[in-house]
Structure 1
Amino acid sequence: MSFNPNLKIGVLGGGQLGRMMIQSAIDFNLDIHVIDPDENAPCKNIGTTFQKGSLTDYDTVYAFGKDKELITIEIENVNTKALKQLEAEGKKVYPQPAIIELIQNKLHQKEFYKANGIPTADFTVVNNREDVAKNEASLPFVNKLATGGYDGRGVQVIRKADDLSKAFDAPGFIEDLVDFDKEISVIVARNEKGDIQTFPTVEMVFHPEKNLVEYLFSPAEIDSKVEDEAQALAKDLIQKLEMVGLLAIEMFLTKEGTLLVNEIAPRTHNSGHQSIEGNVTSQFEQHLRAILNWPLGNTENVSPSAMLNVLGEDGYTGEAKYEGMDEVLATSGVHVHLYGKKLTKPFRKMGHITITDTDKERLREKVNFVKAQLKVKA
């Protein structure tokens, strides 16, 4: 596809990922149209047009895509039947609807890994809480819902017999509780021509209760052998999917030095937010380059960087107030991204902060400072 800023691009989802993608699209004067069920979604005021509507209703999604030349997503929970119909009618839909459908189901993801030689934790299919309890001898393990899980929801760690009552009473699977050394992520892009480009591996630290990324460091502190293996695994996975677009791959690095794929997301991802300031090309620009079949951008690190999620404080719900912002803004190398969400609630993603510094120890000190200073209350 040759450079054409007048191409009509439809985006399913108007959250912060879409907002940051549009901020990148503005640089190329791209024509972006967004649909989201929330009339106050973060994308509301920055696209060419914004439409309030369901992402899971066939007729709504089909009607939205009918006059678009290219359709993409910023969230997986969309109606893939409508996207398949649009694809059949000649619309470009990236990532492809069949891949979105596969990734919507965590069990199908696991089965894809197994069938394609992608290393992952061993798993057992379960249909209900009773099935989970039958595997008591295998404790501890992780219970995951096949569908409906997002941002830490749909995942339950079952450590002992007393915890079995917390298991999901719905189809899914249990998998070995991996004794990992680090949780890392690689973001990889592939365009229609089949060109592939990866971002340097990042190291993630998850919130102990909510199972979402609290902060990350780029590049990950891993040896060159593990880095090479993680990069190769990411390229192998996107090739086997034959996917066009951007793919985020979360992996465990075990204490034995083995890599296991945990989960994947066919879109821009929390583990790539630092790329806006930390890399030559951001993940949002790279996503656009991939779906538009443009040359993929240089992904080298400009500087060591960290990303800290700005989460709503526990116990506060209402109009957001940001405590400690003056101290944060006065810190060198700090860049604040707020997502346009007026209302906060416990652990809601209200924004993120990128921190850059050539000295890794100073970088960690700044992360701890920002984490201690900035509080989102109501």
Structure 2
Amino acid sequence: MKAFYGDLRLGILGGGQLGRMLIQQAINYNVTVKVLDPDREAPCRKLCDEFVVGSLSDYETVYNFGKKVDLLTIEIEKVNVDALEQLEREGVLVYPQPRVIRLIQDKGLQKQFFKENDIPTAEFQIISSPAELKNASIPFPYIQKLRRDGYDGKGVYKVVDESSLAKAFTEPSLIERWVDFEKEIAVIVARNESGEIKTFPMVEMEFNPEANLVEFLIAPSTLPHTVQQEAEEVAKNIASKLKIVGLLAVEMFLDKHGRILVNELAPRPHNSGHQTIEGNVVSQFEQHLRAIFDQPLGETDCLNNAIMINLLGEAGHEGPAVYKGIEKALKCPGVYIHLYGKALTKPFRKMGHVTIVDSDREKAIEKARYVQEILKVVS
């Protein structure tokens, strides 16, 4: 790999908020950053050295973009893997590796990987047609997920009983046994090319019931140490089995019986790690860069109690974004606001996040609830 200090050309597929925060960290390493995204108004557009407008799913576009960089990474999984595989064959470093992205793009392949490697997960069944769904062996209620292209709660449907089947997905999907869970938890793990692996401490998550995406995150967890240790070991095991280079977010359930079940994987920085910017010794974004640059991984210890809330576009509002309550929020000590530079808001669109840190966990949660109440994104 080329040296730092401006010689290294890093390409990022995707120009959203994850790419934006990755660039903010990459600036500290003085690397040249190029970004490809189909939206000419994407959050990364003003921060990178070169911004290219183009399709992430088009072979030629991704291939031609990748030929102009030394190292290629992603901030979204929906990319043309065939082009990435060809670039890899021609000597471009692609992290995470194309084979990992291909596996994780397909939730059915993910589940089969879990089963083949004895990774704990909910009972599932692969569904290829509506007829198979009607004859499913998993009892009601269950969750149906599209095998491809689902994200942030999209492509997920709860099948409560036979009457729900009328609105079920007809595309290839999988169904999972409904998990009666105590908590939704996540662990972010990093692995570099040298094989060094480190996890961030486990976090607890609360999801928006309408949008089905993370709305409130608490770190560190106060669940029993044995639970936290087991979750981190599961994440390390998956990263090791995949031999991934980069970050891997592992979303899990802790069920009512104390069992940990892996839900889904994301091979990139993730919403469940935003609080690491202020809350941990090293952030998830720096750790991802260290991993793909094959540098020593940073220490991941929590510096403080950190609560992260997503700033979602308010229901009923669509148009130019207006942020109400910023001044009130900033009067609270330990409040850090991150706006993603998206000009237009719409219901439940991720417009930013806020991290609240405090040495007193309950005070941190109290302040976070207050910020969540007063800070709104409207039009």
Query: Structure 1 length normalisation: TM-score?
Result: 0.98
Write the letter of the residue equivalent to 2:24: Q
Counterpart position of 1:345: 346
- Greater mean alpha carbon deviation, residues 124-133 or residues 331-340: 124-133
**Equivalent position of 1:44 in the other structure:** 45
Q: Displacement, 1:4?
A: 1.9
Residues 283-308 of structure 1 show CA distances to partners (whole Å, capped at 9, x for unaligned) of 00000000000110010001010100
Displacement of 1:163 after TM fit? 1.6
Distance 2:110 2:138 in 1: 25
Q: Supply the AA of the counterpart residue of 1:108.
A: L
1:87 aligns with 2:91: no
Aligned to 2:308, the other structure's residue is in SS state: strand
Q: CA deviation at 1:252?
A: 0.3
Match of 2:235 in 1: 234
Structure 2: distance between partners of 1:276 and 1:16: 14
**1:326-341 paired onto structure 2 within 5 Å:** 326-341=327-342
Alignment of 1:157-168 (within 5 A): 157-168=158-169
Amino acid corresponding to residue 103 of structure 2 in structure 1:
L
List structure 1 runs of 4+ shifted beyond 4 angstroms: none
Alignment of 1:44-63 (within 5 A): 44-63=45-64
Q: Please say which of residues 75-84 and 321-330 is displaced more in the overlay.
A: 321-330
For structure 2, the 5+ residue unaligned runs are none
Q: 2:261 aligns to what SS in structure 1?
A: strand
Deviations 1:46-98 (A, max 9, x none): 01110101111000000001121100000000000000000001111000001
Per the alignment, residue 150 of structure 2 pairs with: 149
Instruction: Give the RMSD, CA atoms, in angstroms.
Output: 1.1
Instruction: Give the SS at the match of 1:305.
Output: strand
Deviation at 1:2, TM superposition (A): 7.7
Per the TM alignment, residue 323 of structure 1 is displaced from its structure 2 partner at its CA by: 1.2
The 3-state SS of whatever aligns with 2:183 is strand
Q: How does 1:285-304 map to 2 (within 5 A)?
A: 285-304=286-305
**1:129, 1:165 within 8 Å by CA — same for their partners in 2?**
no
Aligned-residue offset at 1:333:
0.6
Q: What secondary structure sits across from 1:340 in the alignment?
A: coil
Aligned residues: 378
Q: Answer yes or no: is 1:280 the counterpart of 2:284.
A: no
How far residue 128 of structure 1 moved from its aligned partner, in angstroms, is: 2.7
Shift of 1:357: 0.7
Residues 143 and 157, structure 2, Cα contact 8 Å, conserved in 1: yes
**Residues of 2 paired with 1:136 and 1:329: CA distance?**
53
Shift of 1:115: 0.4
CA distance in 1, matches of 2:90, 2:188: 30
Amino acid in structure 2 at the alignment position of 1:368: R
Deviations, residues 313-343 of structure 1 (Å, cap 9, x unaligned)? 0010000111111111111110000000010
What secondary structure does 1:352 align onto? strand
Whether the aligned pair in 2 keeps the contact of 1:104 and 1:147 (CA below 8 Å) is: yes
Please list, as runs of the form range in 1=range in 2, the aligned pairs for 1:1-378 lying within 5 A after superposition.
4-5=4-5, 6-135=7-136, 138-378=139-379
Instruction: Say which SS state the counterpart of residue 220 (structure 1) adopts.
Output: coil
If the length of structure 2 is used for normalisation, what is the TM-score?
0.98
Structure 1 unmatched ranges of 5 or more = none
Q: Report the 3-state secondary structure (helix = DSSP H, G, I; strand = E; otherwise coil) of the residue aligned with 2:185.
A: strand
Secondary structure, counterpart of 2:268 in structure 1 = coil
AA of the residue aligned to 2:107: K
State whether residues 128 and 168 of structure 1, in contact with CA within 8 Å, keep that contact through their aligned partners in structure 2. Answer: no
Conserved 8 A contact 1:310-1:376: yes
